[in-house]
């Protein structure tokens, strides 16, 4: 798991930390999830954001994700 999250997939690029505070992508994701702009993410906001991601990945709209759909979404192969 550490290889997937820390080492290979996210690396130290835009998601990597810096001495200047939270990385840009993390701040952007937080802002997108904080729908009411109160500086916190409620469970409802968190779930809504993940539902949008799920629906974007579910290319055939069957309410289920396959490994291929997830890979296509992440790597933009379809």
In this predicted model, what pLDDT tens digit does every residue of 4-32 receive, in sequence order?
444 444 444 444 555 566 799 999 999 99
The CATH number of the domain where 50 resides is what?
Answer: 1.10.238
5 lies in some domain: no
Residue 58 burial class via C-beta count within 10 angstroms: exposed 0-12, middle 13-18, buried 19 and up:
middle
pLDDT at 61 over 90: yes
Per the structure, the complete domain to which residue 29 belongs is given by: 21-75
Nearest to 42 by CA among 27, 57, 30, 54: 30
Query: 57 Cβ partners below 8 Å, 6+ apart?
Result: 65, 69, 70, 73
Assigned domain for 37 exists? yes
pLDDT at 66: 97
* Global model pTM greater than 0.85: no
Residue with tokens 């130290």: 12
**How many structural domains are present in the chain?**
1
Token pair listed for 6: 């820390």
Q: How far apart are CA 29 and CA 53, in angstroms?
A: 12
């Amino acid at each position: 798991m550490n290889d997937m999250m820390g080492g290979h997939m996210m690396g130290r690029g835009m998601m990597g930390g810096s001495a200047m505070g939270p990385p840009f992508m993390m701040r952007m994701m937080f802002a997108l999830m904080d729908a009411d702009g109160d500086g916190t993410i409620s469970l409802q906001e968190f779930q809504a954001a993940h539902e949008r991601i799920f629906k974007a990945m579910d290319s055939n709209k069957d309410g289920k994700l396959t490994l291929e759909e997830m890979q296509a979404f992440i790597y933009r192969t379809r």
